[in-house]
Amino acid sequence: MEVPVVRNILEANDRISAQLRKLFAQHRILVLNLISSPGSGKTSTLERTLTDLAGEFKMAVIEGDLRTDNDARRVAATGAQAVQINTDGACHLDSSMIQEALEAIDLSGLDILFVENVGNLVCPAEFEVGEDYKVSLLSVTEGDDKPEKYPLLFAESAVMLLNKTDLLPYVDFDMARAERFARALNKDIAVFPVSCRSREGLGAWYDWLRDKVREKKNA
């Protein structure tokens, strides 16, 4: 016999994600899921952000990597709480991994929790981890057609950081093209050109964070 089911295959993950969201809402913590390809500068962006906003916010980071705790050590050096998840080859973080990592994080008084996902533009877009927003990072040393090639991620992101703008004179990256395609399926996406190296443009990204923290506190 044929049994109609119609159940979301990722429902187990979505269920835990919803629980996490509730927990974060109770603590009024802004949670951001940071997604990019390997080498776009997720960890550098975090190091810079955690350092520059250390006086304003209490922040923590969950680091997802296939192996090593290199990134967690880099991030912890800024004074923020950092927990490493080693996925042992898995290409994305899921909600149960976050749930486990939270055991090592003190949520009290926390303003922002960054989840640095595994470097990958495909799989992390499918798995919620209790975040308020996805933040995608694209560096100008990559192709400006990434938003065309990986539409789901950019359609789901609230922010696209275009990193390494100090290298623009040396590459053929078309900022307008990247932005146009990111907006094609997501008219509200905030696009911030930044350079973690020269610090150019970081102010707009920080202002966005301040706005969202304020919204979360007043929610």
Partner 1 sequence: MHEMSIAQSLVAIIKEEMEKHGLTRLHAVRVCHGRLAALVPEALSFAFEACTLGTPLEGVQLEMQDIPIVLRCSQCATEFSPEEGDLFMPCPKCGEGLGHEVLQGKELYLDNIEAE
- Piece of 21-29, 58-66, 184-192, 195-203 that binds partner 1 (CB under 8 A): 184-192
**Residues shown for the chain:** 219
- Piece of 28-36, 45-53, 117-125, 194-202 that binds partner 1 (CB under 8 A): 117-125
Among 23, 90, 168, 190, binds partner 1 (CB under 8 A): 90
- Piece of 32-40, 87-95, 109-117, 132-140 that binds partner 1 (CB under 8 A): 87-95
180 near partner 1 (CB under 8 A): yes
3 near partner 1 (CB under 8 A): yes
159 close to 36: Cβ distance less than 8 angstroms? no
- Give the CA distances from residue 91 to residues 24, 49, 122, 134, 176, in Å, rounded to whole numbers and listed in that order: 25, 25, 9, 17, 30
Q: Which two three-digit tokens encode residue 170? A: 């040396």
187 near partner 1 (CB under 8 A): yes
11 near partner 1 (CB under 8 A): yes
- Piece of 22-30, 50-58, 122-130, 192-200 that binds partner 1 (CB under 8 A): 122-130
169 near partner 1 (CB under 8 A): no
157 close to 188: Cβ distance less than 8 angstroms? no
Rounded distance, CA 35 to CA 73, Å? Answer: 19
122 near partner 1 (CB under 8 A): yes
Which of 92, 106, 79, 78 has its CA nearest to residue 37? 92
Rounded distance, CA 146 to CA 144, Å? Answer: 6
- Give the CA distances from residue 139 to residues 44, 110, 193, in Å, rounded to whole numbers and listed in that order: 12, 29, 9
186 near partner 1 (CB under 8 A): yes
Among 67, 185, 203, 215, binds partner 1 (CB under 8 A): 185
Residues that bind partner 1 (CB under 8 A): 1-13, 90-92, 94, 122-123, 125-127, 148, 150-152, 155, 180-181, 183-188
